[in-house]
Amino acid sequence: MPLAPNVIAVLLNLLFFALALPLVMKQVPMQYLYGYRTAGSTKNEKCWYAANAAFALPVLFVTGPSFAAGAVMLGVRYGTALPFWGYGFALLYIPLAVALVLGCVCASRALKRMEEEEGAEEK
C-alpha cells in the first residue's frame, strides 16, 4: 500500500531535519555521498565543516517546524472531513525547497567569508 502524499510530505521534512542535524554538529567527515559538496567546500576539512554547518542550519530551522506542523495536521486531518485539507499538505513541500535554497546561500556565504579571511591572513 503506497503512502499518501500528505504522509510523504511530513516524512520528507523529518528526513531533511534528521540529515541536517549531524551536519550542523560537524559530525560528518568529508566524503562523496552526504553533505554540501562543491569545489569550495571540498578544498579542505575546515571549509567542509563550515560549509556544511552553514548549509544545514537553515534546513533545521525550516524543516523542524514544518515537520511539527505537518504532524499536527496529520492528527487533525483524520478527525475532520474538510474537503480542502489536502491542499494544506502541498504547502509542506514549499519549505523543503526554501530550506535547500537558504542552505545553499548560507553555505556559499560561509565559503566566501573563509576565502576573504584566508586572503587577509596572507597579506
Q: What does the domain layout of the chain look like in residue ranges?
A: 5-122
Planar angle of CA 53, 58, 64, nearest 5 degrees: 110
Q: Per-residue pLDDT averaged across 76-103, rounded? A: 75
pLDDT at 4: 72
Burial annotation 61-73 (CB, 10 A radius, 16+ → b, else e): bbbbebbebbeeb
- Give the dihedral sign, CA 73/77/82/85: positive
Q: Which of helix, strand or coil describes residue 79? A: coil
Q: Is 58 exposed, middle or buried (0-12, 13-18, 19+ CB in 10 A)?
A: buried
pLDDT at 107: 96
Say if residue 95's pLDDT is above 60: yes
**Choice between 100 and 121, residue whose per-residue pLDDT is larger:** 100
